Structure 1
Amino acid sequence: MSLPMKHEEKHLINKGHYGFKRAIFSRFGLIFVLLIIQFVILFGLFAYFINLLPHFLGATFILDAIMVIYLFNNRMDPTAKITWLLIILSLPIFGSLLLLYVENDFGHRKIKQQVDKLINLSKNDLKQNPQTYQALAADNLAEANLATYLERVGNYPVYRNSEVTYFPLGEDKFQAMMEELEKAEKFIFLEYFIIKEGYMWGNILDVLIKKAQQGVTVRVMYDGMNELSALPHDYPEKLAAVGIECKIFSPLVPFISTHYNYRDHRKILVIDGQVGFTGGVNLADEYINKEHRFGHWKDTAVRVKGPAVKNFTLMFLRMWNIIHEHDQDFAQYLAIEPKRYPEAAGYVLPYADEPLDENKVGEMVYLDILNRAKHYVHIMTPYLILDEELITALKFAAQRGVEVKIILPGIPDKKVAYSLAKSHYAELLDAGVQIYQYTPGFVHAKVFVSDDVRAVVGTINLDYRSLYHHFECATYMYKTANISQIAADFNDTMAKCERVTYQTIKDEKLSLKISGKLAKLIAPLL
């Protein structure tokens, strides 16, 4: 149990102003300089070999031919193959060597081994209740088939007797989080892509410090990209000083590595094994509209209570133990039996997606919803960077009479991603897909809702980063009471949107159209 914290210690943790000068002379500044030096050296080596190209035309042709043959026999997404083919043809030798480097994935072999090990060690920790599965199969065999898939690839069972609450804004989730954190008695697990000092995190941190002093186990984990601007590199030590365990996933190090490609994009809060949160909301002020960077920030989240929370507990523990293998204390936390909610309708299945295997779980769930929809599929997503499978599924659903509507941001956070999304508009409109832009600001929600019976709320965007490269999570719901609220929120949000038409596409700036078409060439790399 931690001693009461001194005023200056609390001030040190909450201090959040890191100016340009501090950044330049900080650990990040040093890492950045070392990375630039490595890039220059590598580029120089490649340039040297390219200058010798006339002497090695035969070797160049052979190397590029081998890599092209490799590409056509690789299991990667077809769109990514086209991008790599373009790189190889445009940059002989350099393109082939770059592909060879990326495909060898020197940076993530160790982490992949650790992920595989942890999944194997914990694959029997959660067992599918046969009565639950049989009841689901009797209700809808296709839903049971999806549950089978998620249980096989990630060991995440489907549950009944679990209550799910939907939050249509980050502010709503924040209020509920604060209320649940105050009730914590045993442990608090937080895993977030972004934690940034300010009003939201400051209030949460105050509760975490208080709970740690009361003897509650508090663990915090965040992605290493926070070191770029949000948090200092020694933040785990500062939290440890007040009794909070903290780990950074993939911290910045001064070495070029493909490991940087894999980020922890999850947003998970688990309290006492009884309550779990997920959704798009990170722990920073823009997510609750205390700070306005891109107009009004529209986000969503869910709170799960009951047996289904165990899946979130398992997700967190796996990620926690990836970073510096710990004592693998799965049993003591997973043995906790959450309160059951027999009055709660429907089925709940929290699941995760790991980028280091060949299972594109996030995309498979979205495709399953699109392919089984009978009446409608309504989608909210901040990005629309699609592979051919998703484009085909969206178009096919609309062409067979399903109402497919997509809400996207009206004010972008990333100009290139915004222009790339627009490059898909005409093709989707041709198939009957309806597209809307949220004029008040930025949509960060990741929501699928279909036919008033199924929905997904989580962290998974419709882009290559989420679908191929990030650690992600979401909650799948079938016939739960809150699905009507999710559907209603979509309609309420759509009422604040501008519908995309052929005329609005025609009226777009020429620079936006050109940048979108150019970005499409390298979409899998964005």
Structure 2
Amino acid sequence: MPLIKYIAIAVGVLLALILALIGVFSVTRDAPVTSVIAEGDSEGPPEVSDPLFAHTIELFTKTHIEAGNKVEILLNGDGSYPRLWKDLASAQQTLTVQLYFCQPGAVADTMAKYLSERARAKVRVLLLLDAFGAGTLKEEWIEDLKATGVEVVKLRPLTWYTLHKAAQRSHVRAIVIDGRVGYTGGFGLADYWLGDGHSEDQWRESNVRFEGPTVSSLQAAFAAAWAEATGELLTGDVFFPHGTFSTEGTVHAGLMHSTPTIGSTPAERFFALSIAGARRTLYITNSYFVPGENFMQLLLHAAKRGVDVRIMTVSGKTDVKSTWYAGRTYYEQLLAGGVRIYEYSPTMMHAKSLVADGIWSYIGSMNFDNRSITFNDESNLLMLDQGIGAQMDSIFLDDLKYSEEIKLETFKQRPLKGRLYEWGAQKLRRVL
């Protein structure tokens, strides 16, 4: 082999290592916010029921909170997929679908059936898949869709020259039917999302279906990702129907599309403001609860000022043990500070939601960990509404029936083996 080829290979390997090293430094950065203050206000930052709170959220997360939305909370596969299939079948002009986790099975095949039927009916059907999250899908499945007219694109494929951005995944769930009906949440295309969320092989999930002006924001989030992947920026009435939406919705809602930035992120500011704005209750449900030191202190501060702070997270029946162990390293301090923690017993708890004071809430794809807050693209419906808040409170309290409350004294007696796993996972928490 000529010397020039050896040099070229060496340079290529060196470049790949440099890019990988840059990526390692990138993924180990953390969320920087340590406190939320309101200068000159003895009562602290605006509470969630104060009109100033919604204005603050809009400013710091770049999310427009709009009136006139109709919102339905959909629980688990039994409550979500039948509604979704019916909406997909009704599409007349466009179907835009962006998903993270997908794998072969009945759910993926059912999705393919509806997308293909609509494509054959001359509906423009766009399917955008995260290249990592959908990595187990067979090419045959994708090619069969394309053969019917569905446009399928993978977002952010992994290559040697993108190693430094490998951690920046699109964790978004966004489905829009004719620009007028939107879905987001934690769902994907896998058979363990089927069922009622009470059996070991049927995950517990929370999703949301909505109509009204906020659907356009979800469509815009999809359009931005589609442009990144294809170069085609979608606009016009077909994708963004204008004028008055024909719904009877009364919910104030906004679509927070959080994306990576340098420094503080919209996702981080959302969590910080929501915790600081709670005055009575703060119920957080999250599958991957790894708050980090800064958010742990914000939660402890909320409990100290009298807020009933409760965390619902996954049990040992998790799909990612390392994240579960990392999250448990914060339990002792949180429990000692008055935060109550529950682990969902029957199956994998995959829901991502928050409700504060029974009026401010979110459902979406965003986990309470460094990866979601700092690196992933995420889609979340923010809702300011007492009716929705009451539903969210009720759902949380119902989940308690299927959960084990973690008690401080009992937790302190856990085996040494578990403590060692926790110690190791904690060292990697920023990249889990």
TM class, shorter-length: 0.7 to 0.9
Q: 1:343 to 1:159 in 2, by over 3 A?
A: same
| Structure 2 match to 1:225 | 132
| Structure 2 match to 1:144 | 55
Range 412-421 or range 282-291, more displaced = 282-291
| Structure 2 match to 1:112 | none
1:142 is displaced (CA, Å) by 1.7
Q: Deviations over 1:111-155 (max 9, x none)?
A: xxxxxxxxxxxxxxxxxxxxxxxxxx996122122123333xxxx
Asked whether the 8 Å contact 2:77–2:196 carries over to 1, the reply is no
| Structure 2 match to 1:211 | 118
Asked whether the 8 Å contact 1:164–1:480 carries over to 2, the reply is no
| Structure 1 match to 2:267 | 362
| Structure 1 match to 2:338 | 432
Code of the aligned partner of 1:512: G
Asked whether the 8 Å contact 1:164–1:302 carries over to 2, the reply is yes
Code of the aligned partner of 1:498: E
List alignment gaps of at least 5 residues for structure 1. 1-36, 47-93, 106-136
Q: 1:273 to 1:417 in 2, by over 3 A?
A: same
Match of 1:444 among 350, 370, 378: 350
Code of the aligned partner of 1:329: L
Asked whether the 8 Å contact 2:198–2:347 carries over to 1, the reply is no
- Say whether 1:199 aligns with 2:89: no
Q: Percent identity?
A: 24
| Structure 2 match to 1:185 | 92
Provide the rounded CA distance (Å) in 1 between the counterparts of 2:25 and 2:237.
39
Q: 1:214 to 1:310 in 2, by over 3 A?
A: same
> Normalization by structure 2: what TM-score?
0.86
| Structure 2 match to 1:299 | 205
Match of 2:309 among 393, 404, 408: 404
1:333 is displaced (CA, Å) by 4.2
Q: 1:170 to 1:338 in 2, by over 3 A?
A: farther
Q: Aligned with 1:352: secondary structure?
A: strand
| Structure 2 match to 1:350 | 255
Q: 1:140 to 1:342 in 2, by over 3 A?
A: farther
Match of 1:416 among 322, 333, 339: 322
| Structure 1 match to 2:229 | 323
Provide the rounded CA distance (Å) in 2 between the counterparts of 1:376 and 1:255.
47
Match of 2:378 among 469, 472, 480: 472
Count residues with an aligned counterpart.
402
1:162 is displaced (CA, Å) by 0.8
Q: 1:338 to 1:437 in 2, by over 3 A?
A: farther
Q: Aligned with 1:355: secondary structure?
A: coil
Provide the rounded CA distance (Å) in 1 between the counterparts of 2:97 and 2:392.
25
Code of the aligned partner of 1:194: F
Provide the rounded CA distance (Å) in 1 between the counterparts of 2:133 and 2:431.
21
1:341 is displaced (CA, Å) by 5.7
Q: 1:140 to 1:291 in 2, by over 3 A?
A: closer
1:469 is displaced (CA, Å) by 1.2
1:508 is displaced (CA, Å) by 2.3
Greater relative contact order: 1 or 2 (C-alpha under 8 angstroms, separation 6 or more)?
2
Code of the aligned partner of 2:292: D
Q: Aligned with 1:323: secondary structure?
A: helix
Asked whether the 8 Å contact 2:21–2:164 carries over to 1, the reply is no
Provide the rounded CA distance (Å) in 2 between the counterparts of 1:470 and 1:386.
16
Larger Rg: 1
Asked whether the 8 Å contact 1:274–1:339 carries over to 2, the reply is no
Provide the rounded CA distance (Å) in 1 between the counterparts of 2:261 and 2:139.
26
| Structure 1 match to 2:70 | 163
Asked whether the 8 Å contact 1:313–1:333 carries over to 2, the reply is no
Asked whether the 8 Å contact 2:257–2:377 carries over to 1, the reply is yes
Q: Aligned with 2:242: secondary structure?
A: coil
> Normalization by structure 1: what TM-score?
0.71
| Structure 2 match to 1:90 | none
1:250 is displaced (CA, Å) by 1.5
| Structure 1 match to 2:3 | none
Q: 1:241 to 1:260 in 2, by over 3 A?
A: same
Which residues in structure 2 correspond to 1:259-274 (within 5 Å)? Answer: 259-274=165-180
Q: Aligned with 2:387: secondary structure?
A: coil
Q: 1:231 to 1:191 in 2, by over 3 A?
A: same
Range 166-175 or range 270-279, more displaced = 166-175
1:235 is displaced (CA, Å) by 5.2
Asked whether the 8 Å contact 1:352–1:474 carries over to 2, the reply is yes
Q: Deviations over 1:307-356 (max 9, x none)?
A: 11000010000000101312x23234454137536743331101101114
Code of the aligned partner of 2:272: L
Q: 1:357 to 1:313 in 2, by over 3 A?
A: farther
Q: Deviations over 1:206-234 (max 9, x none)?
A: 11111111110100011111454x21357
Provide the rounded CA distance (Å) in 2 between the counterparts of 1:343 and 1:433.
39
List alignment gaps of at least 5 residues for structure 2. 1-8, 28-47
Match of 1:257 among 137, 159, 163: 163
Provide the rounded CA distance (Å) in 2 between the counterparts of 1:459 and 1:201.
19
Q: Aligned with 2:366: secondary structure?
A: coil
1:101 is displaced (CA, Å) by 6.0
Code of the aligned partner of 2:106: Y
Q: 1:275 to 1:234 in 2, by over 3 A?
A: same
Provide the rounded CA distance (Å) in 1 between the counterparts of 2:310 and 2:246.
33
Match of 1:390 among 295, 301, 306: 295
Code of the aligned partner of 1:336: P
